[in-house]
Amino acid sequence: MVNVANLDEGKVHPCRLSVVGLEDTEAGQRLRIDLVNLESPADITQFWLDTATNRVVRWQRTLPQMGNSQMIMTRE
């Protein structure tokens, strides 16, 4: 468990951090990490890390307050 600050609300939320494992992508293998808000399990943030550079190459967040829409950032 980790505590994550929500700057919009000015609160800290407990979250579960889990390393899902390696996933194959077009650009090679990426390490996937999930961060799930324990107070709102539909609030999920996922990170994909480049194992060679240890940089986040993709980030995706499910926003339950916006009808479970997806916000995605991809580094090229």
- In angstroms, the CA 70 to CA 42 distance is 11
* Residue 38 located in a structural domain: yes
pTM of the model: 0.80
Residue percentage of the chain with pLDDT more than 90? 53
* Residue 3 located in a structural domain: no
* Residue 37 located in a structural domain: yes
**Which residues constitute the domain of residue 25?**
15-74
Task: Summarize pLDDT for 30-42 with one digit per residue, the tens.
Answer: 999 999 999 989 8
pLDDT at 36: 95
For residue 56 the two structure tokens come to 């986040």
* Residue 21 located in a structural domain: yes
Domains held by the chain: number: 1
pLDDT at residue 76 greater than cutoff 80: no
Could you tell me the pLDDT band of residue 26, with boundaries at 50, 70 and 90? confident
Task: Summarize pLDDT for 6-17 with one digit per residue, the tens.
Answer: 888 889 999 999
* Residue 31 located in a structural domain: yes
Torsion sign (Cα): 12, 13, 19, 25:
negative
